[in-house]
């Protein structure tokens, strides 16, 4: 998806984003202070990004990729806004009718009427023969 004439790229991102670049050629430091690391646009180069925490609002994180021509001249930029979704299995671990996010009994299970821990019913049958 790089523009025509681009030979390298750099990445900037907000604090809540983790970025990983995998490429076969070594990265190089940009020619001017603060211009960051540039990676060559080689076949097989992979840019992977993920959220390190859930967002506080929609589109509150961003990744910007800048593309450069031979000699380091900027060509164009591409950006994506991200929203991290937090997913948690919350249960009534105390079996008192209240689902709590941070129940200390969530990590263990005890049998009986005074017990604690989630009770899971798992469907292990075949839906399709």
Instruction: Please tell me the distance from the alpha carbon of residue 74 to that of residue 71, in angstroms, as a whole number.
Output: 9
pTM: 0.64
Query: Boundaries of CATH 2.60.40.1860 in the chain?
Result: 6-82
pLDDT score recorded for residue 28:
67
- DSSP, residue by residue, 16-47: TEEEEEE-SSPPEE-SSTT--EEEE--TT-EE
How would you write the pLDDT of the chain (129 residues) with one tens digit per residue? 789 999 999 999 999 899 999 887 776 665 544 557 899 988 888 899 999 888 999 999 999 999 999 988 999 999 999 999 988 777 777 778 888 877 777 777 788 877 777 666 677 777 776
6-82 belongs to CATH 3.40.50.10300: no
């Amino acid at each position: 998806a790089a523009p025509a004439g681009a030979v390298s790229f750099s990445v900037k991102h907000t604090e809540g984003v983790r970025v990983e670049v995998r490429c076969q050629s070594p990265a190089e430091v940009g020619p001017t202070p603060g211009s960051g690391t540039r990676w060559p646009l080689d076949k097989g180069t992979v840019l992977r990004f993920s959220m390190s925490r859930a967002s506080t609002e929609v589109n509150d994180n961003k990744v910007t990729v800048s593309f450069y021509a031979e000699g380091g001249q900027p060509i164009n930029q591409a950006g994506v806004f991200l929203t991290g979704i937090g997913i948690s299995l919350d249960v009534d671990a105390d079996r008192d009718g209240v689902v709590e996010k941070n129940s200390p009994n969530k990590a263990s299970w005890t049998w009986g009427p005074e017990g604690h821990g989630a009770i899971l019913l798992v469907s292990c049958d075949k839906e399709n023969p």
